[in-house]
């Protein structure tokens, strides 16, 4: 039996169009299925009490949209194109665990402090073209375009392992896995080591990519505050004692977003605490080579006599983030299981990218480029701090890092960085508010300014824009406070 159709004779919508819309809805919802025969126009007109011409007009509209097809002598049938309704993705997809970071439409006039990335103007493109051509002219070039090992391109693994041993970071029982950047390294470690409901201790504030992947996996995320000398070791001790987390993840050098660096004594204390708690310590070491002043601190991996610390490295901050070449250095049994997990995810990291990064490093160009990046970064950081000092309202504070790519700024109360972002974007400059980095400690006035990808003149222009926005709102808030009536004295 054909489904009932209700039409309204008094509606302003003509009956033929009402019928068309109702039949279209039934096809889209699947109530009328692919291949189903519709009643003949005379038959449906009789069922609905309509003129046959009305039904014919409705069928013509359906056929014009490809929803039905008429066959002489056989009737009209529902077509494949309209047989299935789109899946209700809004209902199927789980809600996001945390608010997505704002995305900004690319525009040449927009000055963006939002992304922690190197300056592409410094990329040595001519040298890279020569190296890439050299690689592709080699007899073994075909193998680079073939499937490779989940553990990574063997020559690159050997190079990185030798470098780690030279620095004192790798022990005899260590091995290396090549990953598609630092983010995949973190994801693989979470997949292998942390089950749903298990606790992980991280810094607060922290890189959102780490916090979000742990939250998505159902981990219990615990945040320890970050001070001028990195993660606060006394809070780490308290959390370890109370919650016994499975894994601890820290960025001891130029932490993202604060730029803080842990001194040697704090690193040794952290190692003792984590070791005593029996947790796995993961060191995110992607910024340490971007030091602009002072002496470098040894990595946690270097200081760990047990060799159990897991170190994550990457070429993304010192070279080319688009090639997505990172690595995990750790005990061989762990690395073997991580390689197995990586195979399930993406088989292996792009071999041509790995070979190109290896050739770039072996040629000496990587170190030359790193020095250029550090020189430019130091200039950009000086320009940024000077501009903030000049343009931001009184009471704005920041910790001046000795390297890295990020400056963590706290605006004076009652300014809220998230509330002011849309206005700043309209004026031509953007940043990331602190709320996207917080784990459990709310800091409305905090914001991260990334300077690695910007030249000093763009930095000065952008900070001047932000300063106008912040200063005008700060002055407005002060005037409003001054106008508040004093409370009654009783």
- The token pair that represents 469 in the structure block: 């926005």
Q: How far apart are CA 130 and CA 398, in angstroms?
A: 43
| Predicted local confidence at residue 100, as pLDDT | 74
The arithmetic mean of pLDDT across residues 221-250, rounded, is: 98
pTM flag (> 0.85): no
User: At 486, is the pLDDT very low, low, confident or very high (cuts 50, 70, 90)?
Assistant: low
The arithmetic mean of pLDDT across residues 120-132, rounded, is: 97
Judge contact between 58 and 16, C-beta under 8 A.
yes
Q: How far apart are CA 436 and CA 208, in angstroms?
A: 6
Please name each of the domains of the chain with its CATH number.
15-82 (1.10.10.10), 111-118+367-475 (3.90.1150.10), 124-363 (3.40.640.10)
- Residues 367-374: contacts with CB within 8 Å, 24+ apart? 369/122, 369/124, 369/318, 369/319, 370/289, 370/318, 370/319, 372/122, 373/118, 373/119, 373/122, 373/290, 373/318, 373/452, 374/290, 374/291, 374/292, 374/403
User: At 80, is the pLDDT very low, low, confident or very high (cuts 50, 70, 90)?
Assistant: low
Query: Minimal CA–CA distance to 421: which of 445, 398, 439, 403?
Result: 445
Q: How far apart are CA 261 and CA 391, in angstroms?
A: 26
Judge contact between 301 and 285, C-beta under 8 A.
yes
Q: How far apart are CA 56 and CA 61, in angstroms?
A: 9
Percent of the chain with pLDDT over 70: 97
81 pLDDT higher than 60: no
410 pLDDT higher than 80: yes
User: Which range, of 30-34, 237-241, 262-266, 422-426, averages the lowest pLDDT?
Assistant: 30-34
Digit-coded pLDDT (tens) for 367-399:
999 999 999 999 999 999 999 999 999 999 999
| Predicted local confidence at residue 83, as pLDDT | 45
Digit-coded pLDDT (tens) for 305-330:
999 999 999 999 999 999 999 999 99
Kind of pairing between the strands at 326-331 and 174-179: antiparallel
- The token pair that represents 490 in the structure block: 């009783």
Question: Would you call 293 exposed, middle or buried from its count of C-beta atoms within 10 A (0-12, 13-18, 19+)?
Answer: exposed
């Amino acid at each position: 039996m054909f489904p009932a159709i209700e039409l309204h004779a008094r509606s302003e919508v003509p009956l033929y169009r009402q019928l068309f819309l109702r039949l279209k809805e039934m096809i889209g919802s699947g109530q009328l299925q692919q291949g189903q025969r519709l009643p003949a126009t005379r038959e449906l007109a009789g069922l609905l009490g309509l003129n046959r011409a009305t039904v014919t007009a409705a069928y013509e509209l359906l056929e014009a949209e490809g929803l039905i097809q008429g066959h002489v002598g056989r009737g009209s049938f529902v077509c494949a194109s309209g047989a299935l309704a789109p899946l209700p993705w809004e209902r199927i997809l789980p809600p996001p665990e945390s608010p997505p970071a704002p995305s900004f439409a690319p525009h040449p006039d927009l000055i963006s402090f939002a992304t922690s990335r190197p300056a592409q103007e410094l990329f040595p493109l001519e040298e890279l073209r020569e190296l890439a051509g050299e690689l592709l002219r080699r007899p073994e070039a075909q193998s680079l375009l073939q499937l490779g090992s989940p553990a990574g391109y063997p020559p690159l693994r050997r190079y990185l392992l030798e470098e780690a041993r030279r620095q004192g970071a790798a022990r005899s029982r260590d091995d290396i896995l090549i990953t598609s950047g630092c983010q995949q390294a973190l994801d693989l470690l979470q997949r292998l080591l942390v089950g749903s409901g298990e606790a992980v201790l991280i810094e607060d504030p922290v890189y959102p990519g780490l916090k979000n992947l742990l939250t998505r996996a159902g981990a219990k995320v615990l945040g320890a505050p970050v001070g001028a000398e990195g993660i606060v070791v006394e809070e780490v001790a308290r959390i370890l004692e109370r919650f016994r987390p499975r894994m601890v993840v820290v960025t001891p050098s130029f932490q993202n977003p604060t730029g803080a660096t842990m001194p040697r004594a704090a690193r040794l204390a952290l190692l003792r605490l984590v070791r005593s708690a029996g947790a796995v310590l993961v060191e995110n070491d992607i910024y340490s080579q971007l030091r602009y002043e002072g002496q470098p601190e040894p990595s946690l991996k270097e200081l760990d006599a047990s060799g159990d610390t897991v170190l994550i490295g990457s070429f993304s901050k010192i070279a080319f983030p688009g090639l997505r070449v990172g690595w995990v250095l750790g005990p061989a049994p762990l690395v073997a299981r991580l390689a197995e997990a990586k195979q399930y995810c993406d088989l292996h990291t792009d071999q041509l990218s790995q070979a190109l990064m290896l050739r770039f490093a072996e040629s000496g160009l990587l170190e030359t480029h790193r020095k250029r990046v550090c020189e430019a970064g130091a200039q950009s950081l000086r320009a940024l701090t000077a501009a903030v000092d000049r343009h931001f309202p009184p009471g704005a504070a920041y910790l001046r890092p000795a390297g890295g790519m990020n400056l963590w700024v706290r605006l004076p109360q009652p300014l809220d960085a998230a509330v002011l972002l849309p206005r700043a974007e309209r004026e031509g400059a953007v940043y990331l508010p602190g709320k996207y980095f917080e784990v459990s400690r709310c800091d409305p006035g905090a914001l991260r300014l990334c300077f690695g990808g910007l030249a000093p003149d763009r930095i000065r222009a952008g900070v001047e824009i932000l300063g106008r926005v912040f200063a005008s709102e700060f002055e407005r808030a002060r005037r409003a406070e001054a106008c508040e009536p004093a409370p009654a004295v009783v």
